[in-house]
Every structure is written in C-alpha cells, then in structure tokens.
Amino acid sequence: MAFGLIIIGDEILSGRRVDKHFPKVLELLSQRGLQLSWAEYVGDDRERITATLKRTLASNDVVFCTGGIGATPDDHTRQCAAAALGVSLALHPEAKEKIQERIADMAREAGSTPDFDAPENQHRLKMGEFPQGASIIPNPYNKIPGFSLKNPGGQGAHYFAPGFPVMAWPMFEWVLDTHYADQFHRQAWAERSMLVFEAMESTLTPLMEAIEAQFPLVKVFSLPHVGDEKTRRHIDLGVKGDPAQVEPAFEKMQEGLRSLRAEYQISA
C-alpha cells in the first residue's frame, strides 16, 4: 500500500508560508511503520488541482490532501475533487450537523443565541458541501469536518483536511488509526549508512549495482555533499530495506570500499 501527500495552496509556493505538513506526515507514518511514497505541491489553480486529483484518484494509493477546503474564493479543493470524479457537490448531512454545532458553540461563547439562518452561517454551511459519496473526517479542533473519497475502481482513498496544521494533523492521525491500523508495522525495515570521503559516485556505482543485484530486498542510496566548515566533501552512502538483508549488504558495501581504498566513517 502506497501513501501519498498533496499540499495545496499558493501561499506555500510563493513562500508566504513554510510547509510543515511534509515532515509531520513523514513522522505520523514512520511512527506506525509506514512510509510516504510520494508528495506533490499544487497552487490554487482549479485546472491543475482537478488534473492532479483525477490522476491520483485513478490509482490504488492512499492520499492525504491539505488545503483549499474552506469557502472563500481561493478555496477550490472541494470543487476540484468533485470535478475529478464527475459528480456534483452536496451538503453532507453529518457535516451540516457538525458545522451547526460549531455555530452554536461560537454563539454561546459570545453570550448570544445562534441564528442558523443568518447569511454568514448559511455561508459556513458551504464548508460541508462535499463531492457526492464522500464521508466526513472529524475535526477535534473546531468540529468543521474534512472529507474522504474512495478511489473509483481501486483500493485506495483520498483524505482531505484544512491547511491548518492544528486541524489537519489530528485528522490524519484519526484516519490512520481508524482505517489502516492493520497495516502498521507489517513490513520490517532497517537502514545503515556511512560517510565516504573525497569519493566520486561514478567510482562507487559498480559497487552499488552489485549490492542491489546480490540483495534484491535492499535499496542502495547515495547522497553527495560538497562539504562545509564542519565536514569534508563526502557521499552519504548506505542501504535500506529488509533487515535480514541490510546487515550482510552493509558488510558487503564496507568490503567493497576497503578494496577501493576509500576512506569512510559509519554513521551512528
């Protein structure tokens, strides 16, 4: 099962806000023995959002989406999700109930009686207009829910939350713990690495290829660094994958580096 992440919003691409969702989603998944397979950033452009969702909805992936589910002119995600599926938006009855609970809470805090027919409160209900067939995702912060969609013809699903971390993160945790607990820690995983100093990747490539050929459940990674005031030029070289193969593959890697007379330091 592959997990993906779509982060929507011009404010991220312009630098007006710094994205915090990517590292947090990595953390939420890794805590549960899961991995993120891909991530995309998309601006507030209806055609681009719709095209992106049409493509990802055709997959079997589990996709988390943040941003653009409000009811202001620059929020397009709900409409684009509906367009990607070829369905219309409709006020979800559970979403309506939760939004009205929020309206009542706000009125009570202000010492007044809620007027559900007031124009501003009628407008708030638009945040509960989801593509037909959607289910709600509870929002413990302010009760205004997100929504989920099953991928048509596939085994995956899409989960839509607001762009605010204080809302999105507990909502994504709820999704994982409610729907994917049976996937937690199913695949054992290990990683070992070292710093190889003053080496060229072209020199190390045959060794990396040989290790992947000999250990099919392992992937080799190579991350070059130009060096700085703390560390000389080096390559962060390592192996990751099935624990049963990671250790012998790592030993093989060290043997190969010694035969190349390469200077290296095993990472902690």
Domains of the chain: 3-183 (3.40.980.10), 190-266 (3.30.70.1130)
16 DSSP 8-state letter: S
| Tens digits of pLDDT across the chain (268 residues) | 899 999 999 999 999 999 999 999 999 999 999 999 999 999 999 999 999 999 999 999 999 999 999 999 999 999 999 999 999 999 999 999 999 999 999 999 999 999 999 999 999 999 999 999 999 999 999 999 999 999 997 789 999 999 999 999 999 999 999 999 999 988 888 999 999 999 999 999 999 999 999 999 999 999 999 988 888 999 999 999 999 999 999 999 999 999 999 999 999 7
Q: Model pTM?
A: 0.86
Q: How far apart are CA 62 and CA 149, in angstroms?
A: 10
**How high is the pLDDT of residue 232?**
92
33 DSSP 8-state letter: T
Q: How far apart are CA 235 and CA 223, in angstroms?
A: 5
Please report, to the nearest 10 degrees, the dihedral formed by the alpha carbons of residues 122, 124, 127, 133 taken in order. -30
The DSSP code sequence of 79-128 is HHHHHHHT--EEE-HHHHHHHHHHHHHHHHHTTS---TTSHHHHHHGGGG
> How many beta carbons lie within 10 A of that of residue 158, not counting itself?
25
Please check whether residue 222 is in contact with residue 207, taking contact to mean a CB–CB distance below 8 angstroms: no
Q: How far apart are CA 181 and CA 175, in angstroms?
A: 9
Nearest one of 251, 250, 261, 252 to 192, comparing CA atoms: 250
- H helix runs in 150-242, sequence order: 165-179, 201-214
Tell me the Cα Rg of the chain.
Answer: 24
**How high is the pLDDT of residue 155?**
86
**How high is the pLDDT of residue 83?**
98
| Identity of the amino acid at 42 | V
Please report, to the nearest 10 degrees, the dihedral formed by the alpha carbons of residues 82, 84, 86, 90 taken in order. 0
Q: How far apart are CA 265 and CA 254, in angstroms?
A: 10
The owner of tokens 């067939």 is: 133
